[in-house]
Amino acid sequence: MTRGFAFVLFVSTFLSFQNCAKASFTTSAASLAYQTCTQQLGTTDFPIKVLFVADTSGSNAGTGGSDPAKQVRGGSINEFFNTYRAKTNFSWGFLKFSGSTASSFIGSTANPTFTANTTAMQSALSSFYTTYDDGLTPYAAALNLTRQTLLNDAVSAPAATKYVVVFLSDGLPDPAVSDPVLSALVQSISTVRPGQVSFNTIYYGDVDAEANARLKKMAAVGGGQFLDTNASATGKDFVISDVINVAGLNCGSAN
């Protein structure tokens, strides 16, 4: 799992006004070709548990922010939810991360969970829209809570359950996380249920080769797909089901 993920340790250059970290990080900024699972998701009947992990750091907010009205994050999540909410084999989880911590909109931060109750998921979305974007971008806290959410559920989930993590961010980790540690954190999520978890990443910030490369590598380690909205033909208007993997599904190429 570590092949292709041997990064150079980086030194974070902290920006003022609580922005996401920049880093000296040299690698290709090319976007991965992606494959669409849209058709298969509409016809599957095995349990699918989708966990959204949304960056709510300060760089999203205000004039010049990457997503001040949450149109990218909230809009794409809401569209995905509305498309599949009627399917009884789907369950939903929703985390956010900013400052120095991550927390859950469903269950509690101490006991993050999934829900099949669409009203509860709709409430989580409403709470997300009213969340103030502020502070730093704590990837480690987000990844640790992601793993805990899956661990809590996997104790009793049916053996056929597939977990789909969708990690959305507009920048690099801040506080900084060494690349071997970041790799290990993503791997620890994938191994909660080996062969049944995909870790997918979406970058929606300004053009940034370093942020692109970081999130692209995280998806590669986690067996997922990666989208940089700057490299997308449709820009920040994208369909999540077109840019994720589901473990075990043979999805067709979208480009």
Q: Mean pLDDT, to the nearest integer, of 138-166?
A: 97
Classify residue 218 by burial, with Cβ atoms within 10 Å: 0-12, 13-18, 19+: buried
Condensed to tens digits (0 to 9), the pLDDT of residues 44-91 reads: 899 999 999 999 999 999 999 999 999 999 999 999 999 999 999 999
Q: Mean pLDDT, to the nearest integer, of 4-29?
A: 31
Report d(CA 55, CA 228) in Å as an integer.
Answer: 15
DSSP SS3 for 124: helix
CA-based radius of gyration for the chain = 17
- Residue 92's pLDDT is 98
Tell me the whole-structure pTM to 2 decimals.
0.86
Q: Mean pLDDT, to the nearest integer, of 221-234?
A: 93
Condensed to tens digits (0 to 9), the pLDDT of residues 102-132 reads: 999 999 999 999 999 999 999 999 999 999 9
Percent of the chain, pLDDT > 70? 84
Percent of the chain, pLDDT > 90? 76
| CB proximity list for 26: less than 8 A, separation 6 or greater | 8
224, 165 Cβ separation under 8 angstroms: yes
DSSP SS3 for 226: strand
- Residue 34's pLDDT is 47
CA neighbor of 213 nearest in space, from 223, 203, 204, 199: 203
Report d(CA 109, CA 101) in Å as an integer.
Answer: 10
Q: Is 164 left (phi over 0), alpha (psi -120 to 50) or beta?
A: beta
- Residue 240's pLDDT is 94
CA neighbor of 167 nearest in space, from 17, 9, 89, 56: 56
Higher pLDDT, 255 or 99: 99
pLDDT band of residue 252 (cuts 50, 70, 90) is low
